[in-house]
Amino acid sequence: MKSIQEIKEEFKRAALKELPALMENYREDQRKGVMNLLEQAGKRLEKLEAERVRLEKMRAYEHEYEHLGYVCGIDEAGRGPFAGPVVAGAVILPKDCEILGLNDSKQISEKRREELYEEIIEKAVAAETGFASPARIDEINILQATYEAMREAVGKLPVRPQILLNDAVTIPGIEIPQVPIIKGDSKSLSIAAASIVAKVTRDRLMREYDKIMPEYGFASHKGYGSREHIEALRKYGPSPIHRKTFIRNVFEDRT
């Protein structure tokens, strides 16, 4: 008979799909330690089932429009920061694609976003990003720059989507039919995937800027207007990646 520690290691190594068969193997084992392991495994499976139910709810829009062909989610990251570009993501997922934990990027830790990004890139039919620089944001305003980044992301896709699911906006200058969805990054898997691709891409870029200009702390605040960032701005002045139209108040409010 295997020791409880050996069985524990078996459960620890087991993938979720292997748990039912493993649980059945030890169903008759009345040792308390084994019974606890079975209970824990059961809770993992319950959690998995709840996650699959949540994901299925987030496929509602995808199911509604999948008869048209490729469904593409669109979202952006970086509309609010004082520095850095705005980045748009465009992602087409396969039908019934399962990426456990996929959700609005704002609801997920940075570490988990990085993991999900890799899984999205691996599983997606196509995933692209578009950018608008700080200078472009100053030139045409943040909304128009966001639209420009979104058009770029869609234009770079190697396959043409038949429908765009957008987080809240309707993008001008695109002939593809669009469905704007309020809080779409928490209601649509495709938009959630796009939000993660955009966010991770932008965060990685801001970490690279931090290596060049460490005095601003871009790696920690990613260009957003934290107290640390404002203090650095006042001490060192604006960098080449600061949005002039966003930081005026920092210097106007200075006493």
Report phi then psi at 236, rounded to 5: -105, -10
Domain regions of the chain by residue span: 4-57, 60-208
DSSP 242: B
- Report domain 60-208's class: alpha beta
Work out the pLDDT band at 96, boundaries 50, 70, 90.
confident
pLDDT in tens, 48-63: 899 999 999 999 999 9
Beta strands in the chain, from DSSP E residues, in sequence order: 71-77, 86-92, 126-132, 163-167, 178-181
- What number is the average pLDDT over the span 22-40? 91
Cα(168)–Cα(142) distance, integer angstroms = 15
In this predicted structure, which of 23-32, 65-74, 238-247 has the lowest mean pLDDT? 23-32
Work out the pLDDT band at 255, boundaries 50, 70, 90.
very low
Q: Work out the mean pLDDT of the chain and round it to a whole number.
A: 95
- What number is the average pLDDT over the span 77-97? 97
Spatial contact of 181 and 200, defined as CB atoms under 8 Å apart? no
Could you tell me if residue 101 is left (phi over 0), alpha (psi between -120 and 50 degrees) or otherwise beta?
A: left
103 pLDDT more than 60: yes
pLDDT in tens, 152-185: 999 999 999 999 999 999 999 999 999 999 999 9
Instruction: Report the alpha-carbon angle 139-142-144, nearest 5.
Output: 80
Q: What is the pLDDT of residue 253?
A: 55
* pTM recorded for the entire structure: 0.89
DSSP 243: -
